[in-house]
Structure 1
Amino acid sequence: MKTRTIERTRLVPHTVDGVTEMVLDREQIEVPAPPRDWDHIVRTAVTIGAIILVTASLAWTTASIGDLLSAVTIAAVAYAAAVAFDASWIMCMGVEWLLRYDPERAQVARRAGRWALAVSMGAVFAHGYLIADTWVIGAVGAVVSALAKGGWSMAMRVHARPLDPRTQQWVTARRAKVDGQLAMIPIRRELQRGQALVDAERRSLGGTPEENGSAIPEAPGTPEPTSEDPDPKVSPIRSGRVTTQEAVRNAWDSGIRDPEAVLRTVRNATGKQVPQSSVDRYLRALRVGA
C-alpha cells in the first residue's frame, strides 16, 4: 500500500520555570495515499487541450484573415480586425457556458456562435483560395476553427451537469424570482432620481401644490398654540407652501422681530432647515424698507 507523509500539529502543554503554556507540537506521520483520480486527470487534460486548440485557432485565423485584409488597409488595423472573427464565437461559447442552466437563453448564444464560426471559416477559406489558388488549402485552413470549437464543446460537455426536467423547472422559477428582485434595483433608483428632480423643481417654484401640479395632500388643520411657540397669537404657516422669503415676510407682518423666533417660524413654514444667514438677509431688507 502506498503511503504519503503529512505534518500533523496539536497543542500540548509545555512548562518552563513552573509556568505552563499550550504550544504547537509538530510531527511527521505516514498515512495511506489515496488512489489516483484518473477521471479528474483526463478531465483536466481535455480542458487544457481545448484551451490549446482555441488559442491555436485564434492565432491561425488572425494571421490568415489579417493577411487577407492587409491588401486593402494597413497591417495593424487589418490584424486587429481579424481578431474579431474567432473572438466572436469564442465569446458566444463563454456565454453558453455561463447560461448552461438556462437552456432557452443558452440556445441563442449557441446559434450565434455557429453563425460566427461559419463567417470565420469562410474568411479563412477565402484567404487560402486567393493566396494558393486552390480550394484544398482554403478548406484545410478553415477546418482549424471548426476543430477548435468542437474541442471546446467536448470540454464543456465533460464539465456540464445536466438537470432533470423537474429540477430545471424549479431552477427556472427560483431564478425568475431573483431576477425580478435584481431588475427592481435599477428601476427603484431611476424612480427615486426622477422623484428627487420633481421635488427639487417643486421646491424651487415655491408655489402652492395646486399651482405646481403637486399630488401632495394638504397639511392638516392649524395646530393649537403651545407655550413653546414664539407668539401664541400667530398661527403657524402650513409647511411646504411658501418660500423662505415669503415666510420671513409673513413673520414680519405678524409682528415677529426676534431673528431666532423668525428662524423657527420660517423653518416650520417651509419644512426645511433654513440657515440663519438667509433669514437675517431678508430681515435686513425688510428693516431698510420699513
Structure 2
Amino acid sequence: MRTRTETRTRQVPHTVDGKTHLVDEAYEIHLPVPPRDWDHTVRTGVLGAACLILTGSVVWSTASIGALLDLLVIAPAAYAAAVTFDLVWISCMALEWLARYDPPRAQAPRAAGHIALGVAMAAVAMHGYAEEQLPIGITGAVVSGMAKGLWTVLLAQTTPRLSPQAMQWAQAERAELGSRLGMIPLRRELARAEGLVEAEEASLRTTPDTDPGPPEDGAEVPEGASQLPASGPMTMADAVRTAVSCGITEPNAVIRYVRKVADANAKEDSILRTLRMARRPA
C-alpha cells in the first residue's frame, strides 16, 4: 500500500531552570494513499475533450454562418446573428440537463435543441453550397452534430438513475412545492385586488353619520367609553376607527359594529387587520 508522509505539530512539556512550558514539536506520520480513481480521471478527460469540441464547433459555425449572412448585411450584424445558431441548441441542452429528473419537462428543450441544431447544420451546409464547396459545408455541419452527440452521451453517463418510484416521489414533491410557490404571487394579486375594491367602495360611500347612538346588542362598552354611532353609511376603516376612538377594542364587538354600520359582508380578516393598524401607536 502506498503511503505519504505528513508533518504535524504537537505540544510537549519543556523544562528550563525548573520551569516547565508547553512548546511545539514537529513529528511525521505516514498516511495511506487511496488508489487512483481512473473513472474520475477518464470522465474529466472526456469533459475536457467535449468542451474543446464544442468550442471548435461554435467557432466554425459562427465563421461559416457569419460569412453566409455577410453577403447581405454588415459583418458585425452577420456574426452577431451567426453565434445565436449554436447558442440556442447549447442553451436547450443545458435546460434539458436541468430537467434530467423530470422526463416530461425535459421533452420540450430536447425537441427544441434538435430543431435548433438542424437549422444550424443546414445554415453551415448552405454556406458551402453558396461558395460552391458543398462537401466542405456538409463536413462543417457534421462538426456541430458530433459536438451535440458527444455532449448528449456525456450528460447521459453522468446523470444518476432514479427508480420509477423515486422519480414519482420527486415529481409529487416538485408539484407540491410548485403549487406553494405559485400561490405567492396569486395571494399578492388577490390582496392588491381586495385593496382596490375597498378603495373603490370607500370612494362611493357618503360621509359617515356622526350622530351618536347606542352600541350594537351584545357589544360590551368599557366604562367611560363614548357611545358608538348606530348607523352608517361609512367605510370599514372609518367604522373601525370610530369604534377604537370610542374605546371599543374587543374584536368581536368591533366586527359586529362594522358589519352593522359599514358592510354586512365585511371579511373578518380585513376587519381585524384594520383594527390592528388603528390600535398601533402613531
Which TM-score band applies after superposition, normalised by the shorter structure? Answer: 0.7 to 0.9
- For residues 26 and 240 of structure 1, what CA distance do their matches in structure 2 show? 89
Task: List alignment gaps of at least 5 residues for structure 1.
Answer: 209-218, 252-262, 275-290
Aligned residue for 1:254? none
- Cα displacement (A) at 1:198: 2.2
Aligned residue for 2:30? 30
Task: List alignment gaps of at least 5 residues for structure 2.
Answer: 208-214, 250-257, 259-273
- Partners of 1:222 and 1:236 within 8 A in 2: no
- Partners of 2:86 and 2:120 within 8 A in 1: yes
1:174-200 per-residue CA deviation (whole Å, 9 max, x = no partner) reads 222222222222222222222222233
CA, structure 1 residues 9+266, in 2 after alignment: closer, same or farther (shift >3 Å)? same
Aligned residue for 1:62? 62
Aligned residue for 2:44? 44
- Cα displacement (A) at 1:24: 7.7
- For residues 67 and 142 of structure 1, what CA distance do their matches in structure 2 show? 14
- Partners of 2:13 and 2:20 within 8 A in 1: no
- Cα displacement (A) at 1:228: 2.7
TM-score by length of 1: 0.71
Aligned residue for 1:172? 171
Q: What is the 5 A alignment of 1:1-290?
A: 1-8=1-8, 27-131=27-131, 133-207=132-206, 221=217, 223-229=219-225, 231=226, 235-237=227-229, 241-242=233-234, 264-265=245-246, 273=278
- For residues 18 and 198 of structure 1, what CA distance do their matches in structure 2 show? 85
- For residues 10 and 229 of structure 2, what CA distance do their matches in structure 1 show? 76
| Aligned residue pair count | 245
- For residues 97 and 203 of structure 2, what CA distance do their matches in structure 1 show? 52
Amino acid at match of 2:224: E
Aligned residue for 2:211? none
Name the SS for the 1:5 alignment partner: strand
- Cα displacement (A) at 1:5: 3.0
TM-score by length of 2: 0.73
- For residues 232 and 224 of structure 2, what CA distance do their matches in structure 1 show? 21
**What RMSD in Å do the two structures reach over aligned CA positions?**
3.7
Name the SS for the 2:78 alignment partner: helix
Aligned residue for 1:280? none
- Cα displacement (A) at 1:226: 3.3
How many percent of aligned residue pairs carry the same amino acid? Answer: 47
- Partners of 1:63 and 1:79 within 8 A in 2: yes
CA, structure 1 residues 203+19, in 2 after alignment: closer, same or farther (shift >3 Å)? farther
- For residues 111 and 4 of structure 1, what CA distance do their matches in structure 2 show? 51
- Partners of 2:128 and 2:137 within 8 A in 1: yes
- Cα displacement (A) at 1:65: 0.7
- Cα displacement (A) at 1:172: 1.8
